[in-house]
A and B are shown apart, each in its own frame.
Chain A
Amino acid sequence: MTEDRAFEELQKELEDIVARLERGDVAVDDAIALFRRGEELYKTCVERLQGAELQIEELAPPPTES
């Protein structure tokens, strides 16, 4: 499910996790789970950034009347 989401959503979630941990109002078990999730998000984001070359797709102009 992570893969389908837009990069910015993933990055936002990562930032939210960091902010929550920095506030420090999470239980230990939650903190560890959040950290693991954060790491996963970080890796996904980095992978996205390191994707291939600029992809160019040509879309045929739709026909119009006249």
Chain B
Amino acid sequence: MAKVEPILYGDRKVFTVSSFNHGIASYLGRLPAVWVEGEVTELRRNEAWATVFLTLKDPKTGATLKATIGRRTFDRLELALEEGETVHVSGRAELYELKGELGLRATTVERIGLGGHLLALERLKRQLAAEGLFAPARKRSLPRLPRAVGILTGADAAARGDLVATIGARFPAAKVVICEARVQGKGAPAAIVAALAALAAHPEVDVVVLARGGGSFEDLLPFSDEAVVRAVAATSVPVVSAVGHEQDTPLCDLAADARAATPTAAGALVVPDLSELSTALESSRRRLALAVRNALERDAERVERLGERLRAAPRLLLERRRSGLDHTGARLQTLSPLATLDRGYAVVRAGAVALRDASTVSLGDRLEIELASGALGARVEDVRA
């Protein structure tokens, strides 16, 4: 291997490619061993080779890393590893000097176990929850009667059959659009995401059901895949998650707008019961007829009342006038002196003038006394002034 010795061009130190690579390689060689998690996207093993070549991928960013492990070491692990599986690889950074390629020289590979999956799932769940992906406020309500129900299913006859049967029984006029996608194993997340998008893009699909029967924890993992969970939350129509059994809670359940424990329950969520709907419609129609009749009757009554008031108006006017007249008459009566005479008073006149003062008459003067009824003639006999 070339030594890291620069060539001198005057003041300039220049390294050959080999010495540069070698320098970097020995620098990298001093880094500690680490564990790296990644998805195996390529696995090349050949009996004739001393080394097994792996490509690891970060499913989130797509970043890749080449890893190598001795074939004998690899074979002793008896992993029967397949592409698409997530592994933990322990090793050191290594530079393949001939190509200047960075790699990971592995000493061991472990398939990520149930515990690892659970931890990763828990971490993803916390992260997505913190982003608000599972927030109740995000949940959309399901259409009462979708023009078509999109069904995303695997080649899982039972889940699909239950769902379609329930929809048909509740609402015979329904339409379903079924997209069969690979729902387990490698490539399932991408297939689910693509099928979801295709269903949501269908012009009549107003709601999508993810229908997947029960399965092992690993079988259901694609439904907790980050890309799938995000796609469920981002789908343009509401999504119902009917994945696994009651006790399973794949993350897509949390991101979906509604969750159903079984495909049958999902069917009941996405289409109404025809008889209930018909009853509601008939009731609306009855109320419509009644309401319009009431509205018209109310108006007719109002017109009728107006007519009555119109006809009564002249009579009312006369009565009001008459009562006004009576009132004036009564006031006139109280002002008339005749009323006073009625109570026993009399008007005494000497000539034309009503007497107010005794001193204005003399003995023997003739007086006229007017009573309430009739009048008297009299003479003054004495005066007490």
Q: Given known contacts A48-B173, A56-B176, is B295 in contact with A26 (CB within 8 Å)?
A: yes
Q: Which residues of B contact A7 (CB under 8 A)?
A: 144-145, 147
Among residues 129 to 147 in chain B, which have CB atoms less than 8 Å away from a CB atom of chain A? 143-147
B198 touches A61 (CB 8 A): yes
Shortest CB distance A58–B (Å): 5
- B277's partner among A49, A54, A62 (CB-CB below 8 A) is A49
Q: Which residues of A contact B179 (CB under 8 A)?
A: 58-61
Among residues 224 to 264 in chain B, which have CB atoms less than 8 Å away from a CB atom of chain A? none
B177 touches A57 (CB 8 A): yes
Most interface-central of A49, A54, A55 (chain B CB within 10 A) = A54
| CA of A17 to CA of B284, assembled, Å | 9
B187 touches A54 (CB 8 A): no
| CA of A21 to CA of B195, assembled, Å | 46
| CA of A64 to CA of B191, assembled, Å | 6
Q: At the interface, yes or no: B26 with Cβ under 8 Å from chain A?
A: no
| CA of A11 to CA of B206, assembled, Å | 16
Among residues 285 to 323 in chain B, which have CB atoms less than 8 Å away from a CB atom of chain A? 285, 287-289, 291-292, 294-296, 298-299
A18 touches B291 (CB 8 A): yes
Contact with B along A1-27 (1 / 0, CB 8 A): 000001110010011011001101010
Interface size class of chain A, counting residues whose CB lies under 8 Å from the partner chain: 35 or more
**Considering only CB atoms, which chain B residue lies closest to A36 in the complex?**
B292
Q: Which residues of A contact B274 (CB under 8 A)?
A: 49
| CA of A13 to CA of B193, assembled, Å | 36
B291 touches A8 (CB 8 A): no
B145 touches A18 (CB 8 A): no
Shortest CB distance A60–B (Å): 8
Q: Which residues of B contact A28 (CB under 8 A)?
A: 295-296, 299
Interface size class of chain B, counting residues whose CB lies under 8 Å from the partner chain: 35 or more
A22 touches B287 (CB 8 A): yes
Q: Which residues of B contact A42 (CB under 8 A)?
A: 281, 284-285, 288
Q: Which residues of A contact B186 (CB under 8 A)?
A: 66
Shortest CB distance B278–A (Å): 6
**Considering only CB atoms, which chain B residue lies closest to A64 in the complex?**
B190
Q: At the interface, yes or no: B174 with Cβ under 8 Å from chain A?
A: yes
Shortest CB distance B202–A (Å): 7
Q: Given known contacts A8-B144, A61-B181, is B288 in contact with A38 (CB within 8 Å)?
A: yes
Shortest CB distance B48–A (Å): 27
| CA of A52 to CA of B174, assembled, Å | 8
Give 24 pairs: A residue, B residue, CB < 8 Å, sorted on A. A6-B143, A6-B147, A7-B144, A7-B145, A8-B143, A11-B144, A24-B294, A24-B295, A24-B298, A28-B299, A31-B292, A38-B285, A42-B281, A42-B285, A42-B288, A51-B172, A56-B176, A56-B178, A58-B178, A59-B202, A60-B179, A61-B180, A62-B195, A62-B198
Give the B-binding residues of A (Cβ under 8 A): 6-8, 11, 14-15, 17-18, 21-22, 24, 26, 28, 31-32, 34-35, 38-39, 42, 45-46, 48-66
Question: Besides A28-B299, A35-B292, A62-B194, 11 other CB < 8 A contacts?
Answer: A6-B143, A7-B145, A8-B145, A35-B289, A42-B285, A54-B172, A54-B176, A55-B148, A57-B177, A59-B177, A61-B181
